[in-house]
Structure 1
Amino acid sequence: MGKGFYISRPLGFVLCGLGIVAMLTIFSLSVVYTKEKRKNQVTAINETGMVTTAAPHTTPAPSNEPWDKYRLPDTLLPEYYNVTLWPRLVPDEQGMYIFTGTSGVALTCIKETNLIIIHSNKLNYTLTLENHHAKLTGLGGTSAPAILKTWFQTQTQFMVILLNEKLEVGKSYWLYMEFRGELSDDLAGFYRSQYTENGVKKVVATTQMQATAARNAFPCFDEPSMKAVFHLTLQHPPETVALANGMELGECKLITIEDKKLLQTRFKPTEKMSTYLLAFVISEFTKIQSSEKTNVLIRIWGRKEAIESGQGDYALNVTFPILKYFENYYNTTYPLSKSDQVALPDFAAGAMENWGLVTYREQSLFYDPKESSNGDKEWVVTVIAHELAHMWFGNLVTMRWWNDLWLNEGFASYVSYLGADYAEPTWNIKDLMVLQQVQRAFAVDALVSSHPLSSREDEVITPDQISQLFDTITYSKGAAVLRMLSEFLTESVFAKGLHVCLKGLGTICTTSIKEIMNRWILQMGYPVVTIDTRTGNISQQHFLIHPEAVVEKPSDYNYEWFVPITWMKSGSNMGQHWLLTKTALYEPMKTGTDWLLANLNVMGYYRVNYDPQNWERLLTQLTTDHKVIPVLNRGQIIDDAFNLARAQIINITLALRTTKYLLKEKEYIPWESAIRNLQYFFLMFDRTEVYGPLQTYLRRNVQPLFDHFQNITSNWTQKPPRYMDQSNQINAISMACRTGVKGCSELTRMWYRQWMKNPDSNPIPPNLKNTVYCNAIAAGGVEEWDFGWQMFKKSTIAAEAEKLLYGLSCTKEPWLLNRYLEFTIDPKQVRKQDAAFAIVYISGNVIGQPLVWDFVRAKWEQITKDYDDGSFFFGRLIQGITKKFSTEFELKQLQRLKEDIAASSFSFGTQAIEQAIEKTKANIKWVSKNKAQVMNWLTEQST
């Protein structure tokens, strides 16, 4: 404990309680997490006998019947599945890619029932000799009731099997089905991806089951608590290799089906796991793998060209160290014998934590040291760490239902920085959590349309409701709250709690600790803590970016939190205190002439406001010797001030004054924090008369930073030595070009022109490609754009293609932007996985934004219908393309779109539209209140 560090007596009691509960907290929060892995010893059974095919039909169901509800009844439990699948990697006579399969599942009856209800979606079934879609037999000498009829509920995605008698409690049965589905390109369930290699089209059959798409691949009990063992067999062309969660069993067997020679690969039974974690891939991919010295076989799979060019080497090098780190962190051995990681050309998410077979977007797994940037490398290592963290937390122990998704994803988001820091200890990557998770969560959680981390089970029922939980709150706020808990417990105590969780102890938690954590988990939002250094008074209130917004969601805790306050004074005194009430008087907060800084290193999930005198003292310290204040808090002061100003808690000119010291700042985190907040000014004012003075002011501030990096890189010919400096060099050039610093535009155009002259040798430093591509294409015309498009189409490196995808959106030519928009919805031009990103990139262009808005309103049904997860796709679009909305006219257009969607058969992105409406209303009020003040202040700075 450092000199002068003070812990109050109430804090001591609270920390004592937290230390005890560290062993139990994570487990108790999830309430009903399953126990540690256990293997099923029952021998798999194989059944045959189906003869004819028939498409499923739908029978209307009366309301309140079990098949009319979205949740499975609690009458049956699956024990193990036998699944055999044969995907066709060439189209049939109708031009369709299909797959056929058989599935058997062993069921145990928990409660008497004459119904079997099992998930099934988009599958056609073969009829049995008894003219049913399934066959039921008994196991262990049990006789099975006869099937009276089967039918399908399309809305709830169920196959319903009505029996002539009830199943017996405690008895087991075998349900067998044969089926056929489409291997479509919708990026969900069992789907196809494709790429071109040496001029030949290659098709990959792969999966994405999370959250509710396993039912698209085979009939199953598709809920996370319905864990089972999976025995999987894949039939595939001889030139392909098949992968699954388990290791391959022996040699592939050569078989003949329908006069076609096929390989048949069987896999070891999986651990007992949820359906959403099942995965399989059939491809012509090649691999690299770990040496025999490791006790876990690690294989990196992908396109042959990518693997042979070394793009998978970095992933292979960091995977085993990260696995070992997590084994020590969890104090639990990795439970599988192998860890396959596969880079897919088409993948909707960043990656997926399938147990033993993690799937990735190419740019999330592949790294080319010659072409890729530091940001690409950082993304790869953090994504790998995120997915590997799930091997224990999420896979070994699993949420009962999706309402506790935050604990899975928030936890993995948090510890991914710990794993990445272990793999790359010189990067200081844990500090980036403040920018990448905490501040990101703050932005969304300050809206009345936010939601708690954990909801009641009955509030998350439909696939669309489940899909909407995969958002910033779940990932980033979850990470921020867990980071806060870990910081105050210490990392070692926190990790001990995880070990207890993984060993499956019961749910024990003291009332006081539940009170502390429930306030952060069961109510949305976060507080702004106001400290009056003249009186020692501390108070908290629910922070809302739109202060006049009405919070309609009730909270049992009245939007009050138990807040851990850490602070330091200019005299180096430090302290810690818990704010357990709405207001409190705390003598050490009185400062006299000293300044006080709260929330050291942004450990707590809250914002801080001060009395005007303390704000002035902090600003004075920044301008005289900013290094006295910790670097994370320099970024915090800027971020808090700008957001407090947006919420009308402090004056906008006070926020702007926090940027004046940037003339002397060389560190990445404060600059990045400033740029992100100033981005709001660009969004609001880049179509107004304020834009010119804003450019002038920022140009003067960024000029020293631009000169600094020009000097330390020997006129841009070298890379800065420190990792954070390499990131800030990007900011220096980006802001310099944006604000018109002399020589910046010429520099980016020179690099791009050199590349155009010699397309086979790109002279642009990898870290600077994003900025150079954008600025050079913006300054150029059709020649520059067409060259960028050709390079995009030719690129064999996913991260490089993504940079060009962004750079192409920067052109100032409206006709090129419109052409680009049409390309985004043509899968032959832009992959479906990239469409939403490209459209949002274009909307960030002041010229492109109205073009995008018209485009999306005219074609929203078309651009979502091909996506199985249309809500996620459309929500991403709406959030991205409405950022600039700040007029009553734009608000009315947005409300009209909401009405159009409500009147349609779609239910996509409703939460995203609500958030966009709220943000637009806030923007309108903010511009009305602040435009003149900002204009006057900026004008004064230039005199």
Structure 2
Amino acid sequence: MSSYLLAFIVCDFRSVSGMTATGINISIYAVPEKWHQTHYALEAALRLLEFYEQYFNILYPLPKMDLIAIPDFQSGAMENWGLTTYRETSLLYDPDISSASDKLWVTLVIGHELAHQWFGNLVTMEWWNDIWLNEGFARYMEFVSLEAVYPELKVEDHFLDTCFGAIGRDSLNSSRPISSLAENPTQIKEMFDTVSYDKGACILHMLRNFLTNEGFQSGIIRYLRRFRYSNARNEDLWDSLIKEDHFLDTCFGAIGRDSLNSSRPISSLAENPTQIKEMFDTVSYDKGACILHMLRNFLTNEGFQSGIIRYLRRFRYSNARNEDLWDSLIKYRFAGEHIDLKKMMYTWTLQKGIPLVTVKRQGRKLYIGQERFLKIVLPNDPSWNSLQEGYLWHIPLTYKTSHSDLEIKHILTTKSDVLTLDEEVDWVKLNTDMNGYYIVHYDEEGWNALTELLRVNHTALSFKDRASLIHNAFQLVTAGRLSLDRALDLIGYLKSEMHNVPLLQGLGYLQSFYKLIEKRNVADVTHNLKTYILQYFRDVIDKQSWSDDGTVSDRRLREEVLSLACDFDYPPCLGKAKQLYNSWVESSGAISLPTDVSETVYMVGAQDDSGWAYLLEKYGVSMCETEKRKFLSALASSKDSEKLSRLLQLGMEGTLIKTQNLPSLIYMVARNPVGHFLAWDFVKKHWNELVEKFPLGSFGIRNIIVGTVTQFSSTEELREVEDFFKSITEQVSQMRIIQVATENVEKNIMWLSRNLDTMRTWLQQRLN
């Protein structure tokens, strides 16, 4: 086994235990006073471990599996073999206090760490440049396992957000390939990022969709069996997916999330501790998961699964490389031809970025093109050609039309192509159900047709297609490729939307624009945008109950919508929240608030001196970390800068507020319009102390940098950020996250420059 997976713990914790159908003893450990919060984790661990044994067709090799909640733990969780460690918020669940979102989070994290027992432990990447083989797969298997074991949690809603987030990181030039260079500790730490986790998962999903479930699963099983107890590389995965003729031959083309130039390939160089730490990033986790999602959908569930099993068996108890995974996924036919899956997958893991697919329809002809999607560089920029040069993806396109519900597939391996439809159609929608990892840009006629379709009959498209249209449109606005008013017109149908995913997608963009403009003190636009949101979504807000009733999707919508309404000072929302808060205080915290709205209630209560002081007192005595997180978020929402400064100081001291929570606290304060300069000044002043607490390249230090810097949106602020990091160049020279953060500021500056006047005019027209 790999040495990084060894753990010993000496403690006097209390446990609860159970046994799987195959005789594996599972125990959940916590401090004695929180033992009652362990029972859901035991149920989830038992069910999920049994699922993985069946899915991978490889038994868990150890006699026991311990899961332990650590009171002060910087990581979210760690997959030590047979002894997985967690933050208390990631393992403990109290049904009287925890919300539906909390339950989903705990289940996802357990699913992630148990998936690592096969991907990472049984088969280990050969070097940190292929960390996505661990993290992208674990992130993707979270969704596969919960979809099968806990369908009521509606994890498919959450997966779209994962891929949308991956695209955001990948569309910056500072992105990286999924497989990237990692040569020192800082680079390795930074590999644990969105690219490895989320982009990896989305690309796997795209591949699974293309190969069919059966083909994908078969290749995965082959990979696991071939490399068990050994190390594997990027290409080992692709070889496992393409070498044997067990079922229908298809192919893959996954997607990246690199529209910033500071991105990296999924498989990247990592040669020192800092580089290795940075490999644990969005590229390894999120982009990796998105690519796997694409692959699974392309291969079919069964094909993907069999390939994964093959991979795990082949490389168990050893190390694997990027190519070992592809070798485990079998050779497919597509349109009568064998597809070189390894060659295809390298376009997704060895180059950074995400493709933009352009579509123009003339009669029965579809003119398709591809280019690299970039957010802060326009086609007329002198650097455009150099940033596009050499980029070509093998993209598994899928599309539907107004005349057919059948999904049509085509592999785009060239810069442009022409497809012929069977008949003329009213509209065409590419990237069916967002199973592919790419952005789609239609010509004017195409956007007009889809906008009209949403207005007249939005249910003609699936909720995933509706959400992806909204997402792609606003991403294109940010990139300067689509006008803001066209994207705003696209979401004009949302009053009729009944599904929470597209509804929250549209509402989320409007809220993010509000937060960005609010920090620039543009009073007229801020006021009008708030007024428009409250007027337009009033029916959605008013029909929400202050309870925990409904499905997980209903509860998630309620949590988000009521939080926004109270944040925007909507009188009915403030009145109800104050009423609930006062009743809770009068009972000395004895009555239970509805868990899904409790954070909103606390935030309203924290806005006066007595309420803030009471919540700080409750924070100190609460025995539930989930509840403490809600208290902390409420405390950080105060409009009193002195209170925010006190919070930051308490976080630095590490007694009342644990050190593990300091990065989150800094981010919470930075999001507050009163606190974003305060948080940045705090980081500059305490930088040396912060890097002593959180190693360079670690999640903690990266979250601190991104959480503070990406709140800025002016050239003066950008210059200040650049000057600060230049002053500590020796410390941060190997960290990609600095370029990611500064590119995000550039993106904010450009968005305001391009869109503020358009937003002002559009709002005036709608409100008048």
- The answer as to 2:397 corresponding to 1:587 is no
2:76 and 2:383 map into 1 onto residues whose CA distance is 33
Cα deviation for residue 589 of structure 1 reads: 8.8
Which residue number corresponds to residue 801 of structure 1?
628
Cα deviation for residue 430 of structure 1 reads: 2.7
Does the 8 Å contact 1:532/1:590 carry over to 2?
Answer: no
Does the 8 Å contact 1:879/1:912 carry over to 2?
Answer: yes
1:634 and 1:731 map into 2 onto residues whose CA distance is 19
Higher mean alpha-carbon deviation, 527-536 vs 847-856, is at 527-536
Does the 8 Å contact 2:20/2:26 carry over to 1?
Answer: no
Report the AA paired with residue 355 of structure 2: P
Cα deviation for residue 684 of structure 1 reads: 2.1
- Percent of aligned pairs sharing the same letter: 33
Cα gap change, 1:762 to 1:825, in 2 (>3 Å): farther
Does the 8 Å contact 2:397/2:412 carry over to 1?
Answer: yes
- The answer as to 2:326 corresponding to 1:501 is no
Which residue number corresponds to residue 688 of structure 1?
522
- The answer as to 2:469 corresponding to 1:637 is yes
Cα deviation for residue 357 of structure 1 reads: 0.3
- The answer as to 2:58 corresponding to 1:332 is yes
Q: 1:472 aligns with which of 260, 282, 297?
A: 282
Which residue number corresponds to residue 533 of structure 1?
361
1:100-115 → structure 2 map (5 Å cutoff): none
Cα deviation for residue 763 of structure 1 reads: 3.7
Cα gap change, 1:888 to 1:556, in 2 (>3 Å): closer
Q: 1:568 aligns with which of 375, 380, 400?
A: 400
Cα deviation for residue 909 of structure 1 reads: 7.6
Cα deviation for residue 762 of structure 1 reads: 3.9
Q: 1:897 aligns with which of 712, 719, 724?
A: 724
Higher mean alpha-carbon deviation, 564-573 vs 469-478, is at 564-573
2:691 and 2:733 map into 1 onto residues whose CA distance is 8
Larger radius of gyration: 1
- The answer as to 2:77 corresponding to 1:351 is yes
2:422 and 2:288 map into 1 onto residues whose CA distance is 30
- Alignment partner of 1:640: what SS? helix
2:300 and 2:102 map into 1 onto residues whose CA distance is 31
Cα gap change, 1:610 to 1:487, in 2 (>3 Å): same
Report the AA paired with residue 757 of structure 1: E
Which residue number corresponds to residue 654 of structure 1?
486
1:293 and 1:602 map into 2 onto residues whose CA distance is 36
Does the 8 Å contact 1:563/1:578 carry over to 2?
Answer: yes
- Alignment partner of 1:470: what SS? strand
Kindly provide the CA deviation profile for residues 668-711 of structure 1, in whole angstroms up to 9, marking residues without a partner as x.
Answer: 1112212332343123201212111111111122211112224x
1:550 and 1:390 map into 2 onto residues whose CA distance is 45
Report the AA paired with residue 285 of structure 2: Y
2:485 and 2:49 map into 1 onto residues whose CA distance is 49
Q: 2:444 aligns with which of 583, 600, 612?
A: 612
- The answer as to 2:377 corresponding to 1:542 is no
1:771 and 1:391 map into 2 onto residues whose CA distance is 37
Q: 2:667 aligns with which of 830, 836, 840?
A: 840
Cα deviation for residue 547 of structure 1 reads: 2.1
Q: 2:535 aligns with which of 681, 694, 700?
A: 700
Does the 8 Å contact 1:894/1:917 carry over to 2?
Answer: yes
Q: Which has the higher contact order (CA 8 A, sep 6+)?
A: 2
Kindly provide the CA deviation profile for residues 747-770 of structure 1, in whole angstroms up to 9, marking residues without a partner as x.
Answer: 112111211112232442111122
2:469 and 2:475 map into 1 onto residues whose CA distance is 10
1:658 and 1:881 map into 2 onto residues whose CA distance is 32
Cα gap change, 1:474 to 1:591, in 2 (>3 Å): farther
1:496 and 1:685 map into 2 onto residues whose CA distance is 50
Report the AA paired with residue 544 of structure 1: L
- Alignment partner of 2:179: what SS? coil
Structure 1 stretches (4+) deviating beyond 6 angstroms?
549-557
Report the AA paired with residue 528 of structure 2: P
TM-score under structure 1 length normalisation:
0.67
Does the 8 Å contact 2:174/2:739 carry over to 1?
Answer: yes
- The answer as to 2:637 corresponding to 1:810 is yes
Cα deviation for residue 486 of structure 1 reads: 0.4
- The answer as to 2:39 corresponding to 1:313 is yes
Cα deviation for residue 325 of structure 1 reads: 0.6
Does the 8 Å contact 1:372/1:766 carry over to 2?
Answer: yes
Cα deviation for residue 851 of structure 1 reads: 1.0
Q: 1:577 aligns with which of 407, 410, 417?
A: 410
Cα deviation for residue 557 of structure 1 reads: 8.4
Kindly provide the CA deviation profile for residues 558-616 of structure 1, in whole angstroms up to 9, marking residues without a partner as x.
Answer: 22111111111223343222212111111229854x12111111000001111112211
Does the 8 Å contact 2:30/2:68 carry over to 1?
Answer: yes
Does the 8 Å contact 1:871/1:909 carry over to 2?
Answer: no
Report the AA paired with residue 179 of structure 2: S
Name structure 2 gaps, 5 residues minimum. 184-268, 316-322, 332-338
Cα deviation for residue 294 of structure 1 reads: 5.7
Q: 1:743 aligns with which of 550, 572, 577?
A: 572
Cα deviation for residue 556 of structure 1 reads: 11
Which residue number corresponds to residue 484 of structure 1?
294
- The answer as to 2:133 corresponding to 1:407 is yes
Report the AA paired with residue 688 of structure 1: V
Q: 1:938 aligns with which of 757, 763, 766?
A: 763
Which residue number corresponds to residue 554 of structure 2?
725
Which residue number corresponds to residue 423 of structure 1?
149
Cα deviation for residue 833 of structure 1 reads: 0.5
Does the 8 Å contact 2:77/2:87 carry over to 1?
Answer: yes
Q: 2:495 aligns with which of 656, 663, 676?
A: 663
Cα gap change, 1:282 to 1:546, in 2 (>3 Å): same
2:398 and 2:583 map into 1 onto residues whose CA distance is 52
Cα gap change, 1:383 to 1:578, in 2 (>3 Å): same
1:223-234 → structure 2 map (5 Å cutoff): none
1:707 and 1:821 map into 2 onto residues whose CA distance is 36
Report the AA paired with residue 305 of structure 1: E
1:908 and 1:827 map into 2 onto residues whose CA distance is 28
Q: How large is the Cα RMSD of the aligned pairs?
A: 2.2
- Alignment partner of 1:388: what SS? helix
Kindly provide the CA deviation profile for residues 754-812 of structure 1, in whole angstroms up to 9, marking residues without a partner as x.
Answer: 111122324421111222222332xx211111111111111111111111111111111
Does the 8 Å contact 1:871/1:908 carry over to 2?
Answer: no
1:401 and 1:699 map into 2 onto residues whose CA distance is 51
- Alignment partner of 1:426: what SS? helix
Which residue number corresponds to residue 455 of structure 1?
180
Cα deviation for residue 277 of structure 1 reads: 0.3
- Alignment partner of 1:280: what SS? coil
1:854 and 1:498 map into 2 onto residues whose CA distance is 48
Does the 8 Å contact 2:357/2:439 carry over to 1?
Answer: yes
- The answer as to 2:621 corresponding to 1:786 is no
Kindly provide the CA deviation profile for residues 162-191 of structure 1, in whole angstroms up to 9, marking residues without a partner as x.
Answer: xxxxxxxxxxxxxxxxxxxxxxxxxxxxxx
Cα deviation for residue 866 of structure 1 reads: 2.6
Report the AA paired with residue 876 of structure 1: N
2:77 and 2:386 map into 1 onto residues whose CA distance is 35
TM-score under structure 2 length normalisation:
0.82
Cα deviation for residue 550 of structure 1 reads: 8.3
- Alignment partner of 2:280: what SS? coil
Does the 8 Å contact 1:420/1:429 carry over to 2?
Answer: yes
Cα deviation for residue 401 of structure 1 reads: 0.6
Does the 8 Å contact 1:864/1:870 carry over to 2?
Answer: no
Name structure 1 gaps, 5 residues minimum. 1-272, 711-715
1:799 and 1:823 map into 2 onto residues whose CA distance is 19
Cα deviation for residue 741 of structure 1 reads: 3.2
Does the 8 Å contact 1:532/1:589 carry over to 2?
Answer: no
